[in-house]
Structure 1
Amino acid sequence: MAGTDTEKKPVLQMVQADGTDEGCVTFVLHEEDHTLGNSLRYVLMKNPDVEFCGYSITHPSESKINFRIQTRGGLPATEPLRKGLNDLTDICKHVLHTFEAQVKEFKEKQGEAME
Structure 2
Amino acid sequence: MNAINRFELYVLEDGEKPIEVTEDTKIPNAATIRIAKQDHTLGNLLRAQLLAVPEVLFAGYKVPHPLQPYFIIKVQTDGSITPQAALEKAINELISLITKVEAGFKREFAYKAADGAASGATAGGLGPNAADDPYGGGTGTSAWGNSKDYFDL
TM-score range normalised by the length of the shorter chain = 0.7 to 0.9
| Residue matched to 1:67 | 73
TM-score w.r.t. the length of structure 2 is: 0.66
Question: Judging changes above 3 Å, is the alpha-carbon distance between structure 1 residues 24 and 102 closer, same or farther for their aligned structure 2 residues?
Answer: same
Give the Cα separation in 2 of the matches to 1:20 and 1:74. Answer: 15
Which consecutive aligned stretches of 4+ in structure 1 deviate over 6 angstroms post-superposition? none
Q: Pick one of 1, 9, 14 that aligns with 2:16.
A: 9
Greater fraction helix: 1
Structure 1: state its 5+ residue gaps: none
Deviates more, 1:9-18 or 1:42-51: 9-18
Q: Pick one of 25, 30, 38 that aligns with 1:24.
A: 30
Give the Cα separation in 1 of the matches to 2:57 and 2:26. Answer: 19
| Residue matched to 2:59 | 53
Greater fraction strand: 1
Greater gyration radius: 2
Deviates more, 1:48-57 or 1:9-18: 9-18
Q: How many aligned residue pairs are there?
A: 111
| Residue matched to 2:146 | none
What SS does the aligned partner of 2:73 have?
Answer: strand
Give the Cα separation in 1 of the matches to 2:104 and 2:52. Answer: 23
Identity, % of aligned positions: 24
What SS does the aligned partner of 1:26 have?
Answer: strand
Which structure has the higher relative contact order (CA within 8 Å, separation 6+)?
1
Shift of residue 8, structure 1, vs aligned partner = 3.1
